Amino acid sequence: MTRPTVLVYHADPAYAALVRAPRGRVVVRRAATPSEAEPLAAETDVLYAWQFPRHLYAKAARLRWLQVMGAGVDWALAPELPPGVVVTRAPGVFGPWMAEYVVGWCSWVTQRMAAYREAQRQRRWIDHVLPDRLRGKTLVIVGLGDIGRAIARAARALGMRVLGVSRTGRPVREAERVWRVGALGTALRQADFVVVLLPLTPDTRGLVDAAALAAMKPTAWLLNVARGAVVDEAALLDALRARRLAGAILDVFATEPLPPHHPFWQLDNVVITPHISGPSTPEEIAPIFNDNLARWLAGRPLRHVVDRKAGY
Ligand code: OXD
């Protein structure tokens, strides 16, 4: 009997090296580039991948299951992906990373880290500049999946007040109150910090628009760790230039890498990080994949299946 083939698509060989199948019941192939993946696509039953080239889906006639290595699944759910392919995600991995990112950058704001570093460069003793506290500040988390809730727990541990916005508006114990997306402005109005975490779907594209940004206080900061296109970047640029917002911490952009001529680079109230807030590591994703691989080989239901219609 031919063994099913798992194609591991990533430049880091550790992802393939950590694949474990019961009694070696799969063939593991590895590709790091589209041209390496192309000749392997036709014999692939299972794809374990980050940003697999969508034009190769058409060649993967045997493909049954795609395990996504990253937090977002938008790239995986391209229209070219055949309808029968099950897509699974890796919950639990990214929340702790992103919680540290969010709390860290909120602290960067309140602890005035940039000001003290700049003063140090100039050998100035700026004891008239005092830090602020995160305690009592309001964090609005837009998107309350496992990552949003991990961020909420970290923020609450520091005494922040956490409010949420989600598609359903269903209460969660990590947030004092949750609104539906339709009431985004009501939630944003109360924020000292807003973190955008919604997956990119046709419904969320451009959701944080000029009106939503206008609802925010001029002292508030926006953090986007979801997808650039969930925020209307042109409207954000206007708001930042006009100082209608205190600033933005941006880890994701509609175009990545952010082009060198992009105006965001020049704004002193913008922090740019290169899409690193929730890194994937082979060691953290492998147990999730290997558990699902054992299930798949045993004909048992997979865990963490993406709702392809909903887009997450
Ligand atoms: C993502 C990731 O999906 O970085 O953006 O994992």
Judgement on whether residues 118 and 231 belong to the same structural domain of the protein:
yes
- Decide: helix, strand or coil at residue 272: strand
Q: Which residue has the higher pLDDT, 1 or 147?
A: 147
Judgement on whether residues 125 and 38 belong to the same structural domain of the protein:
no
Judgement on whether residues 30 and 102 belong to the same structural domain of the protein:
no
Residue-wise pLDDT for 151-170, tens only, equals 999 999 999 999 999 999 99
Supply the range of the domain harboring residue 33. 5-92+280-298
pLDDT of residue 24: 85
Judgement on whether residues 221 and 284 belong to the same structural domain of the protein:
no
Residue 134 lies inside a defined structural domain of this protein: yes
Judgement on whether residues 207 and 76 belong to the same structural domain of the protein:
no
C-alpha to C-alpha distance for 123 and 150, rounded to whole angstroms: 39
Chain centroid to CA 243: 26
> Count of domains in the chain?
2
Residue 193 lies inside a defined structural domain of this protein: yes
pLDDT of residue 234: 98
Q: For ligand 1, what atom is nearest to the CA of residue 277? A: 4
Residue-wise pLDDT for 45-84, tens only, equals 999 999 999 999 999 999 999 999 999 999 999 999 999 9
Specify the amino acid at residue 219: T
Judgement on whether residues 23 and 108 belong to the same structural domain of the protein:
no
**What mean pLDDT is predicted for residues 270-275?**
98
Q: Is the pLDDT of residue 242 over 90?
A: yes
Task: Grade residue 1 by pLDDT with cuts at 50, 70 and 90.
Answer: low
pLDDT of residue 154: 98
Q: How far is the CA of 95 from the centre of ligand 1 (A)?
A: 11
Judgement on whether residues 212 and 134 belong to the same structural domain of the protein:
yes
Q: How far is the CA of 70 from the centre of ligand 1 (A)?
A: 4
Q: Which residues are catalytic?
A: 227, 256, 275
Specify the amino acid at residue 46: V
Q: Where residue 135 sits, what CATH number does that domain have? A: 3.40.50.720
Residue 55 lies inside a defined structural domain of this protein: yes
Judgement on whether residues 36 and 164 belong to the same structural domain of the protein:
no
Residue 303 lies inside a defined structural domain of this protein: no
Judgement on whether residues 179 and 83 belong to the same structural domain of the protein:
no
Residue-wise pLDDT for 179-201, tens only, equals 999 999 999 999 999 999 999 99
Q: Which of 280, 285, 304 to mutate to test the pocket of ligand 1 (most atoms within 8 A of CB)?
A: 280
Neighbouring-strand partners of residue 58: none
pLDDT of residue 2: 85
Residue 247 lies inside a defined structural domain of this protein: yes
C-alpha to C-alpha distance for 115 and 129, rounded to whole angstroms: 8
Q: For ligand 1, what atom is nearest to the CA of residue 227? A: 5
Q: How far is the CA of 227 from the centre of ligand 1 (A)?
A: 9
Residue 74 lies inside a defined structural domain of this protein: yes
Judgement on whether residues 139 and 16 belong to the same structural domain of the protein:
no
pLDDT of residue 247: 98
Residue-wise pLDDT for 93-149, tens only, equals 999 999 999 999 999 999 999 999 999 999 999 999 999 999 999 999 999 999 999
Q: Tell which residue, 249, 256, 230, 225, has the closest CA to residue 51.
A: 256
Residue 203 lies inside a defined structural domain of this protein: yes
Task: Grade residue 22 by pLDDT with cuts at 50, 70 and 90.
Answer: confident
Q: How far is the CA of 131 from the centre of ligand 1 (A)?
A: 32
Residue 311 lies inside a defined structural domain of this protein: no
Judgement on whether residues 284 and 198 belong to the same structural domain of the protein:
no
Nearest residue (CA) to ligand 1, atom 6: 70
- Structure-block tokens of residue 188: 């944003």
Q: Tell which residue, 235, 260, 236, 262, has the closest CA to residue 248.
A: 236
Which residues are near ligand 1 (CB < 6 Å)?
Answer: 70-72, 275, 278, 280
Question: H-type helices in 61-124, by residue range?
Answer: 94-110, 113-121
Question: H-type helices in 184-281, by residue range?
Answer: 184-188, 210-215, 233-241
Judgement on whether residues 288 and 236 belong to the same structural domain of the protein:
no
Distances (CA, A) of 109 to 11, 72, 75, 118, 133: 35, 27, 32, 14, 10
